[in-house]
Structure 1
Amino acid sequence: MPEQKITFVNGGPAKCGCKMEFSSGGGHYSDVLYVTPCNAHSGSTPFGPVEVKRDADGWWYHPNIPSFGEGEDPAPYTAWTKEQGLRLKGWHLSDDLDSHPYEDGACHCNGWEPESPGPEWFLMGICDSEDGPYVQWARREVAP
C-alpha cells in the first residue's frame, strides 16, 4: 500500500474525516497526539448496503444500524448518520400509492415496492411510523 499522509490544519478534522486531539501531557508526559481514524483509514468496512430480505409483512430494517435505546428521540440516530457520512431520503407509502390495505387497518406494507432514488442509494429500512409505512434510503455524502 502506498504511503498516505493525513493532514490536520489548526487541530480540525482532516478532509477524510480523521480526527486529532492534542494533549500537552499536563506536565507529566510528553506531548501526545490522539488520532481517531475515519472509516477509510480505520481498516474497517464502512457502513453500507446489505442484502434486503423483507419479512412476511414487508418490513425490513438494516441489520448494522446500532441500537439507540427505546426512546423516540431521533437526535442520536441523526448524529450517527452524519458521523457515517450519510445523506438520507425517505417518504411514506401514501406518497407512492393511492390506496393500500394498510389504510383499512392491515398491519403490513406488502405490495409496496419503493424505488431507490438513484443507483448510489441503499435501503436503510421500511418501517411503520405514526403516519404509516415509511421507507428510508441513504447514500454516502460526496466530500467537497
Structure 2
Amino acid sequence: MPRVLAIDYGKKRTGIAVTDEMQIIASGLTTIPSETAIAFLKDYFSKEKVEKVLIGEPKQMDYTPSESTEVIEAFVEKFKKSFPYLSIERVDERFTSKMALQTMIDSGLKKKQRQNKALIDEISATIMLQDYLSKKK
C-alpha cells in the first residue's frame, strides 16, 4: 500500500511527515529549507510509493486566508506542475504549531529544545497527518 505524505510548508522551513506502508502510523520525516522542497520530494518519490499528499492550508480563526496563504499557494502550483500524477488534499493547519509545542512540553523536552522551530514544523506535519488518518477510519 502506498504512503500518505503531509507537508507543512512555510516561508523558511517545511516540515514533512509520512505514514507507514499500511497507513496506520504518522511519523515525522524531516524538516527542510522551503526552497529545496520540490527537489527533496522528487528524490523521495523516486524511492517511495506515495498515493496522496496533504498540504496544510493556513486559515485565520474566522476561516479567512492567513498572511502566508500566498506563499503556500505558489508552492501548491509548483507542486502540481512537478507531480501532476499525485493526488493533493488541502488540510486545515490551524493550531498545529501550538499542538506541536504542547506535544514537546508533554514529552519532557527542555525549553532550549522546544525552541527548535524545525522540530515544531516536523511535528506539525505529523499532527496534520495523524488527524487525517483518524478521520479516515
Provide TM-score, normalisation by structure 2.
0.27
Structure with greater proportional helix content = 2
Structure with greater proportional strand content = 2
Greater Rg, structure 1 or structure 2? 1
